């Protein structure tokens, strides 16, 4: 028997095993270095978007305690044992906050899950509304060079806590959609199927939508480095601020 569930509802069951190769210390240190380089010293308010299992939150909040972790998947947040404080289930394109944040960030190419330019623009507008005057929004995104490595089907398998799972990954250049299909089977033979789609936007698209939202690009870097990123990068890190030059008085 097969069941189709929402994105990350069933993958939450195997997420820790899927991400076992991720260097969370390195990624957390990178975000903290961005905070050090692009924000003034002092206490700040932090919002993490698509926080997932909150491993990043657990590490970064030790250095920056005024921290909120958010994710659109309630099962993911419920399984997040690394961070027990402020966890909020919400969509990144409909942020429920009225207070301002000095640092808003997302990782693991979460913005690529927004499958239309309209949704991507909505994200930028939503973040702009909650950024402090000197605040920054930083996120990473994967570009086509990375996805082209998976143009032919890629399959991986694993087992975690009695669950057997298979992941099929394929990129479709014509639609610029990168698809991951997860099949998770429990001991009773029930198969849970999730289909994850990510849009691989053109490099230039980000700049156009960022400007349209009233933000500007402070830096565009190769992720995990402070070298300039470009359209030939596999993954890039954007650092944005509010564009006050277009402010209406």
Structure-token match 């601020």, residue found: 241
**pLDDT of res. 139:** 98
**pLDDT of res. 170:** 93
- Better-scored residue on pLDDT, 8 or 207: 207
User: Can you tell me the distance from the alpha carbon of 147 to that of 143, in angstroms, rounded to the nearest whole number?
Assistant: 7
| Closest CA relative to residue 2, chosen from 196, 183, 192, 187 | 192
Structure-token match 């490595």, residue found: 149
Structure-token match 């909650």, residue found: 130
**pLDDT of res. 248:** 47
Label residue 246 by pLDDT band (50, 70, 90).
Answer: low
**pLDDT of res. 7:** 64
**pLDDT of res. 4:** 40
**pLDDT of res. 158:** 94
* 5-9: long-range contacts, CB 8 A cutoff, minimum separation 24: 5/192, 5/193, 5/194, 6/73, 6/194, 7/73, 7/113, 7/194, 7/195, 7/196, 8/52, 8/71, 8/72, 8/73, 8/75, 8/76, 8/194, 9/73, 9/75, 9/194
Chain region(s) in the chain for CATH 3.40.50.150: 2-142+202-243
Give the mean model confidence (pLDDT) for residues 58-79: 94
User: Can you tell me the distance from the alpha carbon of 231 to that of 121, in angstroms, rounded to the nearest whole number?
Assistant: 20
Q: What φ, ψ does residue 55 adopt, rounded to 5°?
A: -65, -40
Percent of the chain with pLDDT over 70: 95
Chain region(s) in the chain for CATH 2.20.25: 146-199
Structural tokens at position 222? 């190769």
Give the mean model confidence (pLDDT) for residues 5-12: 73
Mean pLDDT of the chain: 92
Give the mean model confidence (pLDDT) for residues 229-240: 96
Phi-psi region of 10 (alpha: psi -120 to 50; beta: other; left: phi over 0): alpha
Structure-token match 């289930």, residue found: 89
**pLDDT of res. 8:** 72
pLDDT at 5 over 60: no
pLDDT at 150 over 90: no
**pLDDT of res. 93:** 97
pLDDT at 249 over 50: no
The verdict on pTM exceeding 0.75 is yes
CB atoms within 10 A of CB 103: 25
Helix (H, G, I), strand (E, B) or coil at 245: helix
> Do residues 69 and 86 touch, judged by C-beta distance below 8 A?
yes
Give the mean model confidence (pLDDT) for residues 103-122: 97
CATH-assigned architecture of domain 2-142+202-243? 3-Layer(aba) Sandwich (3.40)
According to CATH, what is the number of the domain 146-199? 2.20.25
Element counts in the chain: helices (H) and strands (E): 7, 12
**pLDDT of res. 1:** 36
170-220 pLDDT, tens per residue?
Answer: 999 999 999 999 999 998 999 999 999 999 999 999 999 999 999 999 999
Give the mean model confidence (pLDDT) for residues 223-242: 95
Beta bridge partners of 223: none
- Better-scored residue on pLDDT, 79 or 160: 160
**pLDDT of res. 245:** 85
């Amino acid at each position: 028997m097969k069941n189709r569930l929402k994105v990350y509802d069933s993958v939450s069951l195997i997420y820790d095993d899927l991400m076992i190769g991720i260097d969370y210390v390195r990624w957390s240190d990178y975000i903290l270095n961005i905070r050090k380089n692009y924000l003034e010293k002092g206490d700040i308010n932090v919002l993490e978007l698509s926080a997932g299992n909150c491993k990043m939150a657990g590490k970064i909040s030790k250095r920056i305690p005024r921290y909120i972790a958010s994710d659109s998947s309630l099962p993911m947040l419920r399984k997040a044992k690394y961070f027990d404080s402020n966890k909020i289930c919400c969509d990144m394109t409909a942020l429920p906050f009225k207070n301002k944040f000095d640092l808003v960030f997302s990782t693991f190419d979460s913005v690529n899950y927004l499958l239309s330019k309209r949704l991507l623009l909505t994200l930028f507008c939503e973040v702009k509304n909650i950024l402090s005057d000197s605040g920054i929004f930083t996120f990473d995104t994967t570009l086509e060079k990375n996805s082209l490595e998976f143009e032919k089907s890629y399959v991986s398998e694993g087992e975690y806590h009695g669950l057997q799972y298979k992941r099929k990954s394929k990129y479709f250049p014509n639609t610029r959609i990168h698809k991951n299909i997860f099949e998770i089977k429990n001991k009773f033979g029930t198969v849970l199927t999730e289909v994850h789609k990510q849009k691989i936007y053109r490099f230039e698209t980000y700049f156009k939508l960022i400007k349209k939202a009233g933000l500007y690009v402070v830096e565009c870097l190769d992720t995990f480095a402070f070298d300039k990123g470009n359209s030939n990068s596999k993954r890039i890190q954007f650092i944005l601020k509010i564009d006050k030059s277009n402010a209406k008085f």
